[in-house]
Amino acid sequence: MARSLAAGGGLGTRRMNAIKRALIYIIVTFLAAVILVPFFWMLSTALQEKGDIFAWPPQWIPDPPQWRNFAEAWTAMPFNRYLGNTIFVVVLGITAELASATIVAYGFARFRFPGSDLIFLILLATMMLPFHVTLIPTFLIWQHFGLVGEFDPLVLRAWTAWGPFYIFLLRQFFLTIPRELDDAAEIDGANTLQTFFLIMLPQIRPALLAVAIFAFRGYWNDFLGPLIYLTDMKLYTMNVGMYFFMGGVNEAPQWNYLMAMSIIIALPVVLLFFVAQRYFIEGITFTGLKD
């Protein structure tokens, strides 16, 4: 008797919970659908025959799907080359981002010097400058060094620790690591570099991974940088190359190719998100070793 009563009470709250969950699922499903419709349309367009894209009524599921659009788009412009260029920039860029941001962040976290707070504030303030504002001045600086037209401005800029967000992220991480660890290392005879490389870096691995992922996304998706700095069609990255399908003054956009390339370019980022989403979140919320 007592058991069934208890069960009955449990059923009530459980039903409430079930309804609540069902509601949440309905809302989430609806929002997901809203977000996914454009993706579906992108895929649908990528598989359409050229003339069918504006067919009325719209053809949601192409019949038959034109899978060859992907191959044709890839070969319409030298995308093998563009992919190589993109990977070159992405790999060098991530390396530079990680190395420079870590060192600078460590400096801000562990070393007090006159004006360090002010410098850090100024660094953060640069986050408020939109890219477009600094576009022309930065361009002129690179031009002064004679490096416009090459990959240099895209990669070398990261060595100047230009990513305040990464520095901020890593600095906060370093701050959560107890100083006792540094002291222990010092007592064991480690010098500053050894402490940094052997003790500190392993501690902030999740944050480094997060920065790497963010940087990958940033470099992979970067469009305006390559567009402005690269002046040789042979050096174009995927994003810039894709725009050839936008057509010209009397050339209609090749939407099916454009969408096919968009999917190819979006794929690594989407895959990366699924594989690494734990680190995306962890990198920002989880804070290593606690006091």
Partner 1 sequence: MLASVLLVIALVLSACGGGKNDNGANGGNGGNAANNGSSGNNSGGEPAQKVQIRLATWAGADEAKELQAILDDLNAKSGTYEIVQDSNPAEYDTRMITQLSGDSGPDLFWVSAQRAAQFAAGGVMLDITDRLASASHPAADTNDYYEASLGPFTHDGKIYGLPWLQQPVMMYVNKALFDEAGLDYPDESWTWNEFLDAAKKLTKDANGKRADEEGFDANNTVQWGFTLNGWPPAQMFIWQNGGEVITEDMKSSPIDTPEAKEALNFYADLVQGPLVPSQSIIRDRGFDQMFRNGQVAMFMGGAADNLDSTVENVQAFMVPAGPGGTHVTFGDILGMGINAKTKNPDAAFQALLDLTDAIHHWKIMPPRKSLADLETLKELHPNKAHSLEAIIASMEYARPYRYSEKYPDWDNIFWTQLMDPIINAGARPDDLIPKVKPLLDNALQ
248 binds partner 1, rule: CB under 8 A: yes
Identified binder of partner 1 from the candidate list 74, 159, 168, 286, rule CB under 8 A: 159
The type of residue at 230 is: L
User: What is the rounded distance in angstroms from the CA atom of residue 47 to the CA atom of residue 5?
Assistant: 59
Q: How far is the CB of 223 from partner 1 (least distance, A)?
A: 8
Do 283 and 213 contact (CB within 8 A), yes or no? yes
Beta strands in the chain (DSSP E): none
Comparison of 4 and 250: residue with beta carbon closer to partner 1: 250
Q: How far is the CB of 250 from partner 1 (least distance, A)?
A: 4
80 binds partner 1, rule: CB under 8 A: no
Report the site for partner 1 in 99-128 (rule: CB under 8 A): 99-100, 103, 107, 111
Do 242 and 253 contact (CB within 8 A), yes or no? no
The length of the chain is 291
Residue (of 108, 218, 118) closest to 167 by Cα position: 108
> Can you give the C-alpha Rg of the chain in angstroms?
26
User: What is the rounded distance in angstroms from the CA atom of residue 274 to the CA atom of residue 287?
Assistant: 21
183 binds partner 1, rule: CB under 8 A: no
Span from 1-9, 41-49, 118-126, 248-256 in contact with partner 1 (CB under 8 A): 248-256
Which stretches of the chain bind partner 1, using CB under 8 A? 54, 56, 76-77, 92, 99-100, 103, 107, 111, 135-136, 139-140, 143, 148-152, 155-156, 159, 192-193, 223-224, 227-228, 231-236, 240, 243-254, 257
